[in-house]
């Protein structure tokens, strides 16, 4: 566990903090399907990932075949399948491939909820192939610890009435999953990431880093699973 995760875990243990699921997961009826986007998944090629329709069909097949509403995965995965995307440095000696958040894959329009009480820190439409598309960042205080949560790949409607400083409550609907044409050209999903230091950034923060940068990011990027709190029995 990285330093940021240890810090967040310690502050969460100090006193009870209201924490909400970020999607409407019902543990009585729902199961999560684990998605592996590393090189170990030989069925998922870079050609599939490079094409939004093919990638979307692949995700839909996994959900349908496993009778799940949601697929999930990603924290610290070395997603070498990203290596051909220009956004992640396809022509660099060391492309960005280590995923810093958790992805939750589901249908477009799926409701996104605030994980904790807090306020809107910033938001932006990070347009561009492979980028976040519409993005919201919330600011929280967890027993004296300043924490930020990032919600990426939303629909544009999610940004229409939002304001910086706007108060939000754990469990409050803040957004919806976007379609590929508005979410950076990805199959519908939520990129959920926690951050301890925004480093002056507004409405955006790296969600993927170079393998050589991983240790440094572990100083400021906690494991989102500390808030998601899914149990082993929640997985398919």
80 is a domain residue: no
Supply the CATH number for residue 162's domain. Answer: 2.70.70.10
Instruction: Provide the residue count of the chain.
Output: 236
pTM of the model: 0.95
181 is a domain residue: yes
Tens digits of per-residue pLDDT, 173-199?
999 999 999 999 999 999 999 999 999
Confidence (pLDDT) at 2 = 95
Tens digits of per-residue pLDDT, 10-50?
999 999 999 999 999 998 899 999 999 998 998 888 788 88
Contacts of 113 (CB under 8 A, 6+ apart): 20, 21, 22, 23, 24, 170, 171, 172, 173, 174
Domain carrying residue 60 = 3-35+53-74+101-207+218-224
Confidence (pLDDT) at 107 = 96
82 is a domain residue: no
As a whole number of angstroms, the distance between CA 81 and CA 39 comes to 7
The DSSP annotation for 73-142 comes to: E-TT-B-GGGGG-GGGTTTSSS---EE-SEEEE--TT-EEE-SSSEEEEEEEEE-STTS-EEEEEEEEEE
Confidence (pLDDT) at 51 = 86
| Number of neighbours of residue 165 by Cβ within 10 angstroms | 8
Alpha-carbon dihedral angle through residues 72, 74, 78, 83, given to the nearest 10 degrees: 80
Confidence (pLDDT) at 158 = 98
Confidence (pLDDT) at 84 = 59
Confidence (pLDDT) at 90 = 56
CB 222 within 8 A of CB 199: no
229 is a domain residue: no
Confidence (pLDDT) at 85 = 60
As a whole number of angstroms, the distance between CA 142 and CA 117 comes to 9
Confidence (pLDDT) at 7 = 98
173-176 and 111-113 beta bridge pairing: antiparallel
79 is a domain residue: no
13 is a domain residue: yes
pLDDT in tens, the chain (236 residues): 899 999 999 999 999 999 999 999 998 899 999 999 998 998 888 788 888 899 999 999 999 999 999 999 999 999 877 665 655 555 667 888 899 999 999 999 999 999 999 999 999 999 988 899 999 999 999 999 999 999 999 999 999 999 999 999 999 999 999 999 999 999 999 999 999 999 999 999 999 999 999 999 999 999 999 999 899 999 99
Contacts 24+ apart (CB under 8 A), 39-48: 39/78, 39/80, 39/81, 44/81, 45/81, 46/81, 46/83, 46/84
161 is a domain residue: yes
Total number of domains in the chain: 1
């Amino acid at each position: 566990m990285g330093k940021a995760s240890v810090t967040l875990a310690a502050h969460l243990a100090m006193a009870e903090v209201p924490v909400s699921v970020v999607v409407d997961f019902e543990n009585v009826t729902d199961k999560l399907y684990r998605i592996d986007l590393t090189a170990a998944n030989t069925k998922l090629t870079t050609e599939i990932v490079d094409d939004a329709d093919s990638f979307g069909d692949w995700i839909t097949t996994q959900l349908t075949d496993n009778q799940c509403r949601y697929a999930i995965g990603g924290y610290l995965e070395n997603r070498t399948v990203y290596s051909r995307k220009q956004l992640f440095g396809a022509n660099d000696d060391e492309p960005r491939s280590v995923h810093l958040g958790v992805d939750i894959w589901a249908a477009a329009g799926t409701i996104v909820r605030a994980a904790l009480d807090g306020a809107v820190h910033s938001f932006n439409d990070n347009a561009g192939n492979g980028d976040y598309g519409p993005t919201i960042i919330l600011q929280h205080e967890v027993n004296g610890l300043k924490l930020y949560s990032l919600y990426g790949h939303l629909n544009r409607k999610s940004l229409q009435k939002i304001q910086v400083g706007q108060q939000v409550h754990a469990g409050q609907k803040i957004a919806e999953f976007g379609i590929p044409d508005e979410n950076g050209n990805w199959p519908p999903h939520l990129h959920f990431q926690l951050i301890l230091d925004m480093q002056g950034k507004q409405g955006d923060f790296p969600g993927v880093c170079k393998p050589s940068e991983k240790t440094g990011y572990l100083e400021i990027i906690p494991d989102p699973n500390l808030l998601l709190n899914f149990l082993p029995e929640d997985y398919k």
